[in-house]
Structures are given as C-alpha cells and as structure tokens.
Amino acid sequence: MKFISLILIVWSSLHVQKNIINEKGTDEVKCLVSFSIYNAGLKVTGTIDSVRAIIHFDPLDISKSYVEAWANAATVRTGISIRDNHLKRKDYFDVEAYPLINLKSKSFRKAGRHKAIGDFDVTIKGITRSVPVTFTISTNDMHPRYSATFRLNRLDFNLGEESVILENNVAVDVKVD
C-alpha cells in the first residue's frame, strides 16, 4: 500500500509541475522523432531533427490532457544526402510550400498502467488525417518521459507515388525527455 501511495504522490507531483510550467507558457520541449520504411526490401531509417512540442498530460484526469507538436520538414535526415534532398522536393514533403508537420491531440484514453492512446490530427502538406498514437509515460528523476509510436500511410499525405519497391506504411517513433 505504501508503494502505491508513493506512486500516486509521484504522478500527482508530475501533473502539478507540468501545469505550473504550462500556465507560464514555457513548456515547450524538444523531441526526437525517428521513422522507418522499407524500400526495395531494405529498412530505411531517418530522423526529423527540429521538433517542438507542448505537452500537458494529466494522468489523474486524462480527459484534460493536450499535446501539440510541430516538426520542421526540412530537417529530415536519412544519412544519405541525395535521398534527404529528394524527400524535401515537391513530390515528397515539399518543404518550401509546407515547412511544418503538425500533430494535435483530440482525445486520450488509458490503455494500461503507464500507457495511453491518443487520437491525433496529423497534418502533412496541408492534408490532415486522424491517427491513433500509442504512448508510454515514465519518470526519470521526477521528470516525465514520453515514448510514442504510430504508423502513417505516406500516400494519405501525397508523399511520393504508388511504388512496387517502396512500402506505403511508415513507422514513427517519438521520444520526449
């Protein structure tokens, strides 16, 4: 029972800390976004290096939680500069016309002890689709850490064309410290 009480105290203090920060408008956090997709049978991985997010997550009242994130599409990196430049062109991210990728939460529901599922609107190239995002919450020195995963169909956002060698589904992982 003492252990459960300690967990509740820790979770409650995390909630209060995030609320205080949110009220001051200084809660933007940096995120690590990585992705993977299969191309010609090989797994291609990459990152988006410039991501900002506002996170208001209340584990005691999940219905009041809110997350919004913006990623700079021009910072997509796969480790191959020719591919990176191609991804920035009009047939993929079209970074000149659509510099930002946006994720905005609509609702959350608990999915386990430290897990939740959020329904998010994802906007890429001016196209918005609803996407379920599964995430876990943990703590490190009383600081919340979030890990999220979701899948996107690249064709839903006009990212390239139908291809026999490039898969349509992109796996996305997000880590916030």
| Proportion of the chain above pLDDT 70, given as a percent | 82
Which two three-digit tokens encode residue 98?
Answer: 């659509």
pLDDT band at 97, cuts 50/70/90?
A: very high
Q: How do residues 144-164 score in pLDDT, each as one tens digit?
A: 888 999 999 999 999 999 999
Structural contact between residues 96 and 72, judged by C-beta atoms closer than 8 angstroms: no
Asked whether 150 and 157 are in contact (CB, 8 A), the reply is: no
Residue 60 pLDDT: 81
Q: Which has the higher per-residue pLDDT, 5 or 131?
A: 131
CATH number of 2-176: 2.40.128.110
Instruction: Give pLDDT tens digits for 17-68.
Output: 333 233 334 455 668 899 999 999 999 999 998 998 888 888 788 888 999 9
Q: What is the pLDDT of residue 28?
A: 56
DSSP code string of 123-162: EETTEEEEEEEEEEEEEETTEEEEEEEEEEEGGGGT-S--
CA distance 95 to 93: 5
pTM (predicted TM-score): 0.81
Average pLDDT of the chain? Answer: 84
Mean pLDDT of 96-115: 94
